[in-house]
Amino acid sequence: MASTKVQRIMTQPINLIFRFLQSKARIQIWLFEQKDLRIEGRIIGFDEYMNLVLDEAEEVNVKKKTRRSLGRILLKGDNITLMMSTGILFQPCVLEFFENQAFMAWLFYGGKGL
């Protein structure tokens, strides 16, 4: 019996960001060392350093459950911890998984020592 091996194609981060840009998807960005603040908006430009130009940007305070309109902004790549689509295709169970701050710290530090 022949074994079937499933090949997975690796997606480069820049390709995913480009897909967000092309589809004009609304995305949510988790900020480095700002666990209560998120930025939502549509990517209209980016560079190799993951600096993003966002349109219709909003600052979301998850603790106070408030939103503040920012308009068009430049978000430096070194402030980004996680980027995800806010669209209906996003699975809520994955969001729940990532909201575990211990896991986020583990992921950020290369998955060592958990």
Decide if pLDDT at 94 tops 60: no
**pLDDT value at position 92?**
46
Helix (H) or strand (E) holding 14: helix 13-23
pLDDT tens digit sequence for 29-70? 999 999 999 999 999 999 999 999 999 999 999 999 999 999
**pLDDT value at position 11?**
75
**pLDDT value at position 107?**
57
What is the spatial distance between Cα 53 and Cα 58, in angstroms, rounded to a whole number?
Answer: 13
What is the spatial distance between Cα 45 and Cα 50, in angstroms, rounded to a whole number?
Answer: 10
